Amino acid sequence: MFSSRLFSPIAVAKSFRPIRRTVAYCADPTSGLSSEQLEIQKTAKDFAKKELYPQMDKWDKMGQLPMEALRKAGELGFGAIYCNEEYGGAGLSRLDAALVFEQLAAGCCSTAAYMAVHNMVPWMIDRFANEELKRRHIPELASFTKLASYCLTEPGSGSDSSALVTNARRDGDHYIVNGSKAFISGSGVSSVYLVMMRHKDAPPGPKGIFALIMTPDMPGFQLGKDESKLGWCTQPTRIISFEDVKVPVSNQISMDLAIEHTKVRQAFGKSISQFQWTQFKLAEMATKSDQLTLEYYSRLSFFPRENISVAVPLKPSENWFDARTRRPVDKAVFMRALADISSSRASTASTWKPRGTRPPRPKSTKRP
């Protein structure tokens, strides 16, 4: 029989103490940030308060991007936040960027939203383009001397990248591009357009999709009228049409990565990465890994900043973590199969050995 004391107001209040404590920590926008991140956050906040907020209403009514404010933002490194410093970028992390955009949005949501879109373009160039494209575009994009637009959304498929129909046909040293894009932020004022498309002969779905850098002076590149919107009025938004636009092959953005094991290993006539089961398992493992990371950070937030001797509710989750962190590791090892038997494999040292260091299970105390 349950005791009535389990449901007393005091017992209920005690059971919710950790939750209240977590909320208190999450409500603090500076919680868990390093001194460098606090400085980044403060810089963005001061800029938004001084340069964006006082002019927000005027820019919204005028319906145009504040170029002077953008160039000042470029001087602070907000034009290519994730890019390598070698090309003029700030070299910050995604978390750092989130701190910046959160503060900028408080000053002018519309302008901050465009700045976030603009940053996607130099990042993709920095991450996937060749050296010549990096040096040609990133410095000017980082300073907001040139503006950029990220072109994914289409009239028929929206932002579903796997369903886009804009296509490119290879013709010697050029691609011939046909199709259209919709709701493109910055269109009409941008100088650099990163356009997502598929190869002409590629099958439906995500395979065969790539990106080209395009400019509005290319013949066949057509801009529609500026859309009248309910919000985000400082950034122009247009439909863009492509009619036999010739784009140099050298403008292609693509990944140049090493071939992974699942793409090499063959089974039943095709690589194991092509099997739907493998794809589902990889997605499941990635999801669980991310979940564990977030839970780990959440638990660490219980630590007070000064009085570390205060008891924190970490011990109850020790077994929870122990069981769940092994699962994605085990599955990764099993998916590699015999390739992990050799102790010389780098993956073996980082995945299989921890399995051998588990504490032994306690012997059963049950009587026969």
Share of the chain above pLDDT 90, in %: 46
Tokens of 114: 């465009």
In this structure, the strands spanning 209-214 and 252-253 are antiparallel
Considering the four listed CATH numbers 3.40.50.300, 3.40.50.2300, 1.10.540.10, 3.50.50.60, the one that applies to the domain covering 27-146 is 1.10.540.10
pLDDT in tens, 213-227: 999 999 999 999 988
Per the model's pLDDT, the better-predicted residue between 326 and 354 turns out to be 326
Per the model's pLDDT, the better-predicted residue between 20 and 111 turns out to be 111
DSSP one-letter string for 257-323: -PPPHHHH-EETTEEGGGSHHHHHHHHHHHHHHHHHHHHHHHHHTTS-SS-TTS--TTGGGHHHHHH
Domain boundaries 149-253, CATH class: mainly beta
pLDDT in tens, 294-333: 666 666 555 554 444 444 455 555 556 666 666 666 666 6
Q: Tell me, what's the pLDDT at 316?
A: 53
Share of the chain above pLDDT 70, in %: 62
Q: What are the φ and ψ backbone dihedral angles of 247, each rounded to 5 degrees?
A: -125, 130
**Closest among 97, 87, 69 to 137, alpha carbons compared:** 87
Per the model's pLDDT, the better-predicted residue between 227 and 1 turns out to be 227
The domain 261-356 having CATH identifier 2.60.40.10: the answer here is: no
Helices H, strands E: what count in the chain? 12, 10
Tokens of 230: 């309910």
317: left (phi over 0), alpha (psi -120 to 50) or beta: alpha
Q: Tell me, what's the pLDDT at 286?
A: 72
Is residue 3 very low, low, confident or very high in pLDDT (cuts 50, 70, 90)?
Answer: very low
Are 79 and 118 contacting, i.e. CB atoms less than 8 angstroms apart?
A: yes
Location of structure tokens 């071939």: 259
Q: Tell me, what's the pLDDT at 229?
A: 83
Residue type for 57, please?
D
Q: For the whole prediction, is pTM greater than 0.85? A: no
Using CA atoms, how far residue 336 sits from 272, 283, 289, 326, 342, in Å, is: 10, 16, 18, 15, 11
Distance separating alpha carbons of residues 255 and 129, to the nearest angstrom: 8
Domain layout of the chain by residue ranges: 27-146, 149-253, 261-356
Which range among 21-30, 83-92, 145-154 shows the weakest confidence by mean pLDDT?
A: 21-30
On the CB side of 268, how many CA atoms lie within 13 Å of its CA? 4
Q: Tell me, what's the pLDDT at 358?
A: 45
- Secondary structure (3-state) at 367: coil
Are 267 and 275 contacting, i.e. CB atoms less than 8 angstroms apart?
A: yes
pLDDT in tens, 133-189: 999 999 999 999 999 999 999 998 888 888 899 999 999 999 999 999 999 999 999
Are 227 and 157 contacting, i.e. CB atoms less than 8 angstroms apart?
A: no
Tell me the average pLDDT across 231-254.
Answer: 92
Distance separating alpha carbons of residues 360 and 364, to the nearest angstrom: 12
**Closest among 231, 173, 169 to 197, alpha carbons compared:** 169
